[in-house]
Structure 1
Amino acid sequence: MVLVLCIVMAVSIFTGCSRSSQSVAAKQKNKEALNTIRIWHDGDKAIIQLMENYLNEALTDDGITVKFEQKSGLTDQLKLYGNDEVNGPDMYMYAHDSLGMFVEMGALAPLTDVIDKNVYADMLPMTLKAGNYKNDQYLMPVYFETLLFIYNKDLWEGEVPSATEELYSYMKSHTDTAAGTYALVNQHSTAYNVAPFINGFGGFILNEQAEPGLNYIKTKEAIEYNKKFAQLEADGDYNTVNALFMDGKADAIIGGPWLISGVKEARINYGIKSLCDFKLPNGNTLIPYSGVQGIGVMKHAAKSKKDAVEKVLNEIVNPQLGIDLAQNSGCAPSNQKSYNTSSVANDEMIAAMRRTADIAQPMPNIPQMSVMWGPAESLLAAVNKSGKDLNTAADDYQKEAETAIADMQ
């Protein structure tokens, strides 16, 4: 019996040790899971790698690991897994214009569920507006972009004008369509590229009440005004206008910062001017749309990983991250304090976008905007390329837009 008791006691001791060891391992695994933040994205690899390195270094002492995971078809992926705590992300980084859709599907938590609003007080107002939906802030803005006037200094004659009418005069005297050379090229039938005229005239593609404005009088005035520029801007196709500028057959182009790497590769001696430096006949400036890249928090992560998420967001608003993104990737930071650094403030492209940010309109982030691009661009093509009557075409595509919105209900 003594022998049996000894064996039982030994087994109990070893079993207890095993269970204790398993318990410690389980706790450690759970802690690691709570301190690992997965962020889905579909962004530029260099930008994302910079952000991942920055955040992981900044959060080392907190034991927090940030993993960015690239997803093709991010919108569809978030529709499937946005509410899935096991298979979905904890946060996501994406352009702001799809925000409303994700909020309406119940996937996102307001930032104020995790942090105090004072944390993002230094962000540019336009970038905050982009991430705000129904009076709640859902996106922490990181950087933004706007259209720019990019010109070839070796081709442009004299000073770049400060009024659109002066610009048009220059175009008339420096464009030879027969020879295939142009003063200025633009995607004249792409809604995003015509938005500076539409917004500047007081028109709108879609307002905050989800009402289309294709046949609104101010929108039509803008489209009519843009038409005379379009007649001197080649066919308006993305590839065509880019090739003309890169090949030195166009003095200038209206495009975004995404063109600059190609411009540099083509060894073009380029200059940049903000669109807000061009005044329209009505006294307003051109007012482009802006796209804002921001980070949102999934609703489940705001509860189960609140502490870790809070620390990540506090590092995202650090001005140094904006400085690093500007210096290494040419991004225009959302944090106003990042511009206190001379290398950021004196960068020609970033400085132009910073000025534009004061008047730019963030693209509408309500779900209905997704069905507006088609009718808007069909209207522009009908007027600029097919020569259809503006009033008739505007009424037709207004009805098409209204039907598309109604079908979303």
Structure 2
Amino acid sequence: MKVNKKSVLAISAFIAGGALVLSGCASGGGDNGGDSGNESEGGATLTVWVDQNRADALEDSISQFEEDNDVTVDLVVKQNEKIRDDFTAQVPTGKGPDVTIGAHDWLGSFVQDGLVAPIELGDTAADFQEVAISAFTYDGKVYGLPYATENLALMRNADLVPEAPATFDDMIAAGTAAGTQYPFVVGLDPANADPYHLYPFQTSFGNSVFAQNADGSYDGSQLTVGDEAGQAFAAWLGQQGAAGTINLNLTQDLAKEAFNAGESPFILTGPWNTTDAEAKGINIAIDPIPTAGGETASPFVGVQGFYVNAKSENALLANQFLVNYIGTEEVQYALYEAGNRPPALTAAYDKAAEDPIIKGFGDVGATGFPMPSIPEMGSVWEFWGVAEAAIIGGADPASTWTKMSEDIQANIDG
């Protein structure tokens, strides 16, 4: 996920609470914000780990939650890249926060290690985008309160190509007709390609990495990446490498520079690149990703949310904080304004979608699949990217893809 990285800073709320109204809830806290069990004068302290942007969005309005519940909320601002490791290290020792911000694809290891508790959304689950709830669901239980989604889409220079292409071939034809240096760009790594960026084209052939259950969750025991549909994608990928339409020499930075310089009318990218494109005067439009294999080109969707510490003594209060505060339209919209990502709550998304760029990414995300959060996904990336790079570079697609699948399965089996 692309997020801002700030230095560690502790921010405390200064409103003292009275007696805790939720029976059975002790106070809570955390390292870098106090050990679990810290009590505020006359009430509980709920410790919440956030990054700087989210703290700025929450601290001005959090006093209402404190007043309503007679508690203190201690926002502890941490560098985003340290949150996962610190949470993993501290929770088993009885430390850490009551609530932490985090990405949904941490969920598999968090549940496996007993670090997070399910939350009770009740009927309010229907108020969120389906992909967001699915992302935080594991073994039929919801473990996080989602607040934002993020995914790829096709960004188009509308001055060079006025209409969105329906298929990959249509896009290449339109890009060629535009007379630019590149008909289409996507940033890749020369040695590891980029499975994340290429996955929408893979899904358009009907292929997925793992089989999915009826509720949308992934079955780590059924690796499907090497099936017939995956082989069809691999063959197509080899054709694009030979034609130069997918180019290993264009890194993320070079692809971005080419698009922003008007050297290509299309780039496959995420919302993190829209600001710079607009600053360069590009008239951008956000379109669905064109299909290469005939089915919908569905990207991975990353979802950001909040988890409850499984060892928190304030579990009921933490759940209330998430459902009745983080899950409100006002707070979800404030978090959207801080991060410029489509809100997970449908009402907040509908308001944010008045911006056509947000709507473009959100509409594509609604067709996407949550990034697999199951532990088995950790065995996939190394072999997947190397195989894609080899195929783009001219290796035999069928044998390379088959070996990749076998290597992944062997890695899963240990």
**TM-score, structure 1 as length reference:** 0.81
Opposite residue 332 of structure 1, the aligned amino acid is: P
Opposite residue 243 of structure 1, the aligned amino acid is: E
Alignment of 1:158-173 (within 5 A): 158-173=162-177
- Of 246, 263, 274, which aligns to 1:249? 263
CA distance in 2, matches of 1:359, 1:398: 26
Partner of 2:3: none
Task: Return the offset for 1:258.
Answer: 1.0
SS of match in other structure, 2:101: strand
CA distance in 2, matches of 1:33, 1:101: 36
Opposite residue 319 of structure 1, the aligned amino acid is: E
Partner of 2:348: 338
Distance 1:225 1:109, change over 3 A: same
8 Å CA contact retained: 1:83, 1:299: no
8 Å CA contact retained: 2:149, 2:342: yes
CA distance in 2, matches of 1:97, 1:146: 13
CA distance in 2, matches of 1:32, 1:222: 61
Asked which structure has the greater CA Rg, the reply is 1
Partner of 2:245: 232
Opposite residue 245 of structure 2, the aligned amino acid is: L
Partner of 2:134: 129
The answer for unaligned runs of 5 or more in structure 2 is 1-18, 20-26, 28-36, 212-217
CA distance in 2, matches of 1:397, 1:281: 21
* Pair 1:306 & 2:316 matched: yes
Distance 1:308 1:212, change over 3 A: closer
**TM-score, structure 2 as length reference:** 0.80
CA distance in 2, matches of 1:319, 1:107: 28
- Of 101, 109, 118, which aligns to 1:110? 118
CA distance in 2, matches of 1:254, 1:101: 30
Distance 1:33 1:94, change over 3 A: farther
SS of match in other structure, 1:38: strand
CA distance in 2, matches of 1:58, 1:304: 15
CA distance in 2, matches of 1:141, 1:232: 36
Going by fraction, where is helix more abundant, 1 or 2?
1
Aligned residues between the structures: 364
* Pair 1:84 & 2:88 matched: no
Task: Return the offset for 1:173.
Answer: 4.2
- Of 390-399 and 128-137, the range deviating more from structure 2: 390-399
Task: Return the offset for 1:160.
Answer: 2.5
Task: Return the offset for 1:322.
Answer: 2.3
Task: Return the offset for 1:175.
Answer: 6.3
Partner of 2:53: 46
- Of 288-297 and 49-58, the range deviating more from structure 2: 49-58
Partner of 2:8: none
8 Å CA contact retained: 1:175, 1:232: no
Opposite residue 209 of structure 1, the aligned amino acid is: D
Opposite residue 234 of structure 2, the aligned amino acid is: I
Partner of 1:367: 375
- Of 219-228 and 129-138, the range deviating more from structure 2: 219-228
CA distance in 1, matches of 2:311, 2:176: 58
- Of 206, 209, 224, which aligns to 2:210? 206
Alignment of 1:313-332 (within 5 A): 313-332=323-342
Task: Return the offset for 1:349.
Answer: 1.7
Task: Return the offset for 1:92.
Answer: 1.5
Opposite residue 321 of structure 1, the aligned amino acid is: V
The answer for unaligned runs of 5 or more in structure 1 is 1-23
Partner of 2:182: 182
8 Å CA contact retained: 2:187, 2:255: yes
